[in-house]
Every structure is written in structure tokens, then in C-alpha cells.
Amino acid sequence: MIQRITRAAAVVATLLAVEAAVPETGLMVAQARADSGATQPTADDLVTSFTLENGMQVVVIEDHRAPVVQHMVWYRAGSADEPIGQSGVAHFLEHLLFKATDTLEAGELSATVAANGGRDNAFTSYDYTAYFQRVASDRLDLMMQMESDRMVNIRLTGRDIETEREVILEERNQRTDSEPRSLFREQMNAAQYLNHRYGQPIIGWRHEMEELDMEDALSFYGTYYAPNNAILVVSGDVTPDEVRSLAEKHYGRIPANPELPERMRSQEPPQTAARRLVYKDARVAQPYMQRSYLAPERDSGAQEQAAALYLLAELLGGGSTSYLTNALQFDQQVAVYTGAFYSGVSLDDTTFDFLIVPGADVSLEEAEAALDETFARFLEEGVDEAQLERIKLQLRASEIYARDNVDGIANRYGRALTSGLTIEDVQAWPQILQSVTADEIIAVAREVLRPEVSVTGWMMRDEEVSQ
């Protein structure tokens, strides 16, 4: 499974998705809880971290309300870590890890999880690959036994390579080649990144996927699938002592890879020219315009700029009361959808994106001009302090609600740690968001959203292509 949640452009895939609003009564209750000064343990109080002797980091997030546990192994290796010419090998290997090991038959791990009433899966993104099982807490020992086994004991056949290569090619057929939005997004990413591997699709370029072989998969596996390149995240009805004992039993016996390479990537040169592209496809149902800007990610110990960008996106396009929505959908009525997106959890530079779907009889050129004029007016007028406070209130509420989701909390820590952040960074993030001022938001908008680091794309119908 491919996961693109580390990239802001991924949000565009949910082009006309309905946005879930927090009920007003829920906000009031959450605010009362947040301001009550109660001494109940917070989610931060129940996070423990330690490192095994072989270098494997272990994070334990306690939640004893239900006898359930989420067991996840995150590898600091994703599509941006792939060798040149082998795009897609990280995702290919993810598929192959459900094949046989020294002790398990192909498919036996998932069958065992299901037989124990649980569910499992895996996902690949730019900066990580993760494997997880969600089961009753008394099955944690068994999950660690099987997951540690496939960390080192995968056994592949030529038939495995052939069949799974066909599977990932068909996945590309269904999710990318048959979907104009996905093809458009690929072109946008490729234009945005001049040198960085974020410019290649996570699933891979088709011509390189077709050439992936046993040697490619085993080389990536042997290089990156080692305890000193992995993070074990366990959330739910567990204690740190219990997890430590089981982790040492199953993962602690696996030797570290002494030749694990430093995580060095090709970086972007200075971007000095705005880029434009037009993607035409007869299958396009709704033309739209998207613009992305190269933007800084959340950096460990220095998340303030990213926090300002996050709030900027919320102010401009974060819902039905946002600045772009009011201006372009309600006042001017030139758009039927507007959005602004930023996701800072990324090892290297990410993007800040605008998206606008024009209304009937409004051209893409007119929609783009309206966006530019509206954004310029926002910079001149400044941030509405009342709107900013409403967004911060919603964030405080959502932080409380997030504690009820052990899956989401485990994912939050796993994504952050594989993207260069620390546990302390994750825990500091909500307060950093609350401390950002209106002036800081305008300053970061002027500094980051510059034409020379932008790509503007039009996705439109190709009327000349036969149906």
C-alpha cells in the first residue's frame, strides 16, 4: 500500500472530499476540559522511549482503556532513499515481505493475525516504510515473533518476483495511469523538484518498475531492514516493562547492520524560475488549477516556521470559513472549491499548495487571476485575529480527541521519528502552534510563497482526444 501523507500534494487527491467539522458542543466540552486544570495524565505523560543494544528505538504509548494493542515497525527507508534507476523498489519490497520466511509460509503472517482476530497491513511513503498489526494485547508476543522474523529471514523465489512485479504494475494501472488527477500530480511533483528524489512517484516510474528484479529487492532489504534503522512503536494496553522484555526477546537478538549508510540525499539547488505546466486528458471530469511552492519542513528543535505555514494553510483554505472560500466561492462566486494545504512532516523540503476548481463558465485563467488577487489582498489586510483564535481553539480540541485514537497516535510518532523529528518535537508541536502570532504568519507567507519556487499547473480536458 502506498501512503503519501507526508506530502502536501497528496491532499489534492481528495479533491472534492467533504470536510468533517468539529461540532460546536464538542468544542465547548473540549475547551472546558482543556482549561479545567485537571490533573489527569496526558498523552505525553504515557509515552516512553528506550533503545535496544542493537540500536533499535522503541516507543511505548500507553492506553489501558481497552485490551487492544497496535504493533508497528517503521523503517527509515522510503522511495526517496531508492537507488537511481530503481524507483518503486521500496514499495515492491513492502509487497515481498508478505511472502515466505525461514519459519512462515507465504501469506501465513496475515492469516495468523486474522485467525487471532486482528488486522495487519503495510505502507510506503517517501521517507519510511511501515508494517503494523492491531490485535488483542495478549497477542503482542506473537506479533513481535513474526515481525522480527521477516526483518531478517525473508525467502524469495523467482516466481515471487514475477508475480509481485505484476501486482505493483497493475496497482499503478489502477491508481495512477487510469486516474488523470494522479498523472497530473506526478507531473507537478516532477516539475517542483529539480534534483530531489521527492520528484519521483512513490510507486515508481513504469519503465523502471518493469525492470525491478531479485537483486534490487534483496539489496534494498539487506541495506535498510535492520534494527538500527528501525523504530518499534507499540500503542495501547501495554506497559513499558512488558514491551521492553518482549522487544529484547525478539528484536534484541538481531544484529545491527554495521554498514548502514548515512541518510544522505541529493538536495535541491536554488530554484530561480517559476514553472508552468498544462495537463490535458479526455477523461478529466472537472478542470482545476493547482499551485505548489517549495516550502521548509518541520525541523527538529526549530518548528516555528512550519507551524506558521500550517496555520497559514488553515486560514487561507482550511474549511468553509477560510479566507479563500469566503472570497472566491461566496463573494466572487468564481470557484466551487478552494483549498490550501501544508504538511510539514517530511525529512526534506515539502510543499505548500493551493487548489481552485472554477465555477461554471469561469476559465482556468480567470480562476488563477482571482486566486492571485485574493492572496495579495490577504497579505495586505493581514490575519483576522478572531479567525486565528478560532483555529487555535479547534486545534486544542482536536488534540484532546486524538488521544482516543491509539492508531493515530502511533502513526503520528512513527511518521515524525522517521522524518527527522524527536518525541520532544512531537509533544512540543501543539504548544508551538498556539504560540504563533498573526505577524509571524504574514512574514512566513511573504518569505516562502515566492513565484520563483512555484509550479502552476492546469488540469483540463483534451477535447481533441477521441472518446
Q: Which residues form the catalytic set?
A: 94
Residue burial 209-237, b: 16+ Cβ < 10 Å; e: rest: beebeeebbbebbebbbbbbbbbbbbbbb
| Cα distances (Å, whole numbers) of residue 244 to 50, 131, 247, 414 | 8, 19, 5, 18
> What distance lies between CA 411 and its chain's CA centroid?
10
Angle 296-301-303 (CA atoms, 0-180°, nearest 5)? Answer: 40
- Assign 3-state DSSP to the chain and report helix, strand, coil percentages, each to 5: 45, 20, 35
Q: Report which of 209, 219, 47, 231 is spatially closest to residue 130, judged by C-alpha positions.
A: 231
E-assigned strand segments in 209-286: 230-236, 275-280
Exposed / middle / buried, residue 432 (Cβ in 10 Å: 0-12, 13-18, 19+)? middle
Question: What phi and psi, each to the nearest 5 degrees, are found at residue 155?
Answer: -130, 110
Exposed / middle / buried, residue 422 (Cβ in 10 Å: 0-12, 13-18, 19+)? middle
| Spatial distance between the Cα atoms of 176 and 94, rounded to a whole number of angstroms | 19
| Cα distances (Å, whole numbers) of residue 261 to 94, 144, 222, 223 | 20, 26, 11, 8
| Spatial distance between the Cα atoms of 200 and 198, rounded to a whole number of angstroms | 5
| Cα distances (Å, whole numbers) of residue 204 to 11, 91, 92, 176, 389 | 19, 8, 9, 10, 42
- Alpha-carbon dihedral angle through residues 377, 379, 382, 384, given to the nearest 10 degrees: 70
Q: Which amino acid makes up residue 77?
A: A
Q: Report which of 335, 404, 344, 419 is spatially closest to residue 370, judged by C-alpha positions.
A: 335
